[in-house]
Amino acid sequence: MDYTVIIGLEVHVQLLTRSKIFCGCSTEFNPTNPNVQTCPVCLGLPGALPVMNRQAFDLSLQTALALNCEISPFTKWDRKQYYYPDLPKGYQISQYDLPFSEDGWVEIDIDVAAGETKKIGIIRAHLEEDAGKNMHDESGRKTDSQVDLNRAGTPLLEIVSQPDMRSPAEAKRYLEELRLLLTYLGVSDCNMQEGSLRCDANVNLHIHEGVEKIATPIVEIKNLNSFRNVELAIEYEVQRQCEEWQKSHRKIGDVAKETRGWDAVRGVTFAQRGKEEASDYRYFPDPDLVPVIVPAERIEQVKAGLCEFPADRRKRLAVTYQLSDYDVRVVIDQGPAYADYFEHVAQTCGDGKQACNWVTQDVLRELNERKLTIGEFPISAEVLGKLLQRIPQKQITIKSAREVFMDLLAGADQGTAATSERIQQLIDEKGLAIVSDTGELEGVIASVVGKNPKAVADFQAGKQAAVGALIGQVMREVKGADPQTVRQMLIEKLSQ
């Protein structure tokens, strides 16, 4: 069967505001104390009037500009009517025909090694309020269902992509790039476990039969809560739609759009309900909220204040610090604070590659083991940079630097701050300084050579390996000697 997979994604992002979108209630994630973050507005009590949260609008504006969207100078609020226990007003405040932004794109990598990229179109990004959460008893004892309205009224940005993705892997890549961008912008914590980022996938197939191209009915898979599940659910759905086509030969338009859920345990999608059309919701402008007018100067102002985007930062890091695409990706993918840390280390020690090796290996390993964020890491970028500086300056070896690094961490665990002074102290205490005084070395080398006539004879008979044992003996005598220098001096001595 010859077919193309067509995927479009709708992503709901919870914005990082302290209060809800139309009232002053806290947006904190608080599942243990239901219904405490509520007021007459988000409970939908009669007579309560909403007021727009300016911060929510500003964060959306930043995101839409970073997504290369056109910003509408005039935007309004609409009521999307439907009844559900977690929606006490009986309607959701959203944006229908005049969203605040439209027509953007995000660039994703298709093949990093080949430098192949692809632009995924963004149809629109609009603001709306979240509903509460219905909690059904899953113990099988059939107790009552409950409703928690702590989340009702949390600001959500809905980002709707064009159906531009052609494989589950591309869909996953798009989500990764989108999440990275949102993280760098600082507009959302993108915590999928807490529901700060949720995704619906629209999937169908274009079947190629001779010169004809037939589209199969579109299926929307709702509420995918991890990138892995997005990939798996789409993979499953493609297979299912192939089989469905062979059985029924149903085309787009023959049946209503279908909504399906994803059962991660069984690894299948399942039918939920026929998808409502927009007309079912009886959208109309919300009379309680004034339209929002965005002056051109405001857009320019927000644009000027935007951060460096991850894609741009990748390019700059590769050039500035002479890093491979792989290294740059590891640094950028860990988030803006980590990328800042790396840049600080690199600038302090003056060697980008060395800094990258340490930050992406030693530091990352310790962060993972200690379950710390880079902001909590006991060795500051300045101190690590100062430590690494000593390697090209031939003050200590890489091996000794590692020893100091681990000692700094162990010290921090005991309450000793990891400072530059502490580095010097450790080097002195352990005698790790590279001995640059060749006078001392010469004496030790002469004595070691004198004590090992067999090794000397072996070397002079052409056995290069014999020098290894002698290096070891010299290093034991002179702590902190640079092995390279010792080897060189030994060979010179033996060749005399």
**Among 6, 7, 42, 165, interactor with Zn ion by CB under 5 A:** 42
Give the Cβ contact number of residue 330 at 10 Å. 17
- The span from the CA of 4 to the CA of 22, in Å, is 43
Q: Rounded to whole angstroms, what are the CA distances from 308 to 296, 328, 331?
A: 22, 15, 15
Tell me if 161 sits within 8 A of 199, measured CB to CB: no
Tell me if 13 sits within 8 A of 157, measured CB to CB: yes
- The span from the CA of 225 to the CA of 253, in Å, is 29
Choices 23-31, 121-129, 351-359, 487-495 (CB under 5 A): range interacting with Zn ion: 23-31
- Taking the least distance from each CB to Zn ion, the nearer of 45 and 293 is 45
Question: Taking the complex as a whole, how short is the minimal distance between the CB of residue 25 and Zn ion, in angstroms?
Answer: 3
Question: Taking the complex as a whole, how short is the minimal distance between the CB of residue 38 and Zn ion, in angstroms?
Answer: 5
Choices 40-48, 76-84, 250-258, 428-436 (CB under 5 A): range interacting with Zn ion: 40-48
Question: Taking the complex as a whole, how short is the minimal distance between the CB of residue 31 and Zn ion, in angstroms?
Answer: 17
- The span from the CA of 473 to the CA of 486, in Å, is 10
Does 45 help bind Zn ion (rule: CB under 5 A)?
Answer: no
For 341, residues 6+ apart whose C-beta sits below 8 A from its C-beta are: 359, 363, 374, 377, 381
Question: Taking the complex as a whole, how short is the minimal distance between the CB of residue 155 and Zn ion, in angstroms?
Answer: 12
Position of tokens 């860990």?
334
Closest CA to 382 of 342, 430, 428, 424: 342
- Taking the least distance from each CB to Zn ion, the nearer of 109 and 129 is 129
Does 125 help bind Zn ion (rule: CB under 5 A)?
Answer: no
Tell me if 262 sits within 8 A of 235, measured CB to CB: no
Does 25 help bind Zn ion (rule: CB under 5 A)?
Answer: yes
Choices 39-47, 131-139, 206-214, 402-410 (CB under 5 A): range interacting with Zn ion: 39-47
- What Rg do the C-alpha atoms of the chain give, in angstroms? 31
- Taking the least distance from each CB to Zn ion, the nearer of 40 and 186 is 40
- Taking the least distance from each CB to Zn ion, the nearer of 36 and 169 is 36
Count of residues touching Zn ion (by CB under 5 A)? 5
Tell me if 9 sits within 8 A of 28, measured CB to CB: no
Question: Taking the complex as a whole, how short is the minimal distance between the CB of residue 89 and Zn ion, in angstroms?
Answer: 12
**Using N-to-C axis directions, what is the helix angle for 168-185 and 310-321, rounded to 10°?**
80
Does 39 help bind Zn ion (rule: CB under 5 A)?
Answer: yes
- Taking the least distance from each CB to Zn ion, the nearer of 50 and 310 is 50
- Taking the least distance from each CB to Zn ion, the nearer of 42 and 331 is 42
Tell me if 149 sits within 8 A of 88, measured CB to CB: yes
Question: Taking the complex as a whole, how short is the minimal distance between the CB of residue 153 and Zn ion, in angstroms?
Answer: 6
Reading the block at residue 178, the tokens are 């989108």
For the chain, give percent helix, strand, coil, nearest 5. Answer: 40, 20, 35
Does 93 help bind Zn ion (rule: CB under 5 A)?
Answer: no
Question: Taking the complex as a whole, how short is the minimal distance between the CB of residue 341 and Zn ion, in angstroms?
Answer: 38
Give the Cβ contact number of residue 137 at 10 Å. 11
- Taking the least distance from each CB to Zn ion, the nearer of 44 and 163 is 44
Question: Taking the complex as a whole, how short is the minimal distance between the CB of residue 151 and Zn ion, in angstroms?
Answer: 11
- Taking the least distance from each CB to Zn ion, the nearer of 24 and 31 is 24
Closest CA to 221 of 264, 174, 283: 264
Question: Taking the complex as a whole, how short is the minimal distance between the CB of residue 158 and Zn ion, in angstroms?
Answer: 21
For 368, residues 6+ apart whose C-beta sits below 8 A from its C-beta are: none
Choices 42-50, 53-61, 391-399, 400-408 (CB under 5 A): range interacting with Zn ion: 42-50
- Taking the least distance from each CB to Zn ion, the nearer of 90 and 468 is 90
Question: Taking the complex as a whole, how short is the minimal distance between the CB of residue 42 and Zn ion, in angstroms?
Answer: 3
**Among 23, 157, 187, 201, interactor with Zn ion by CB under 5 A:** 23
Residues at the site binding Zn ion, with contacts judged by CB under 5 A: 23, 25, 39, 41-42
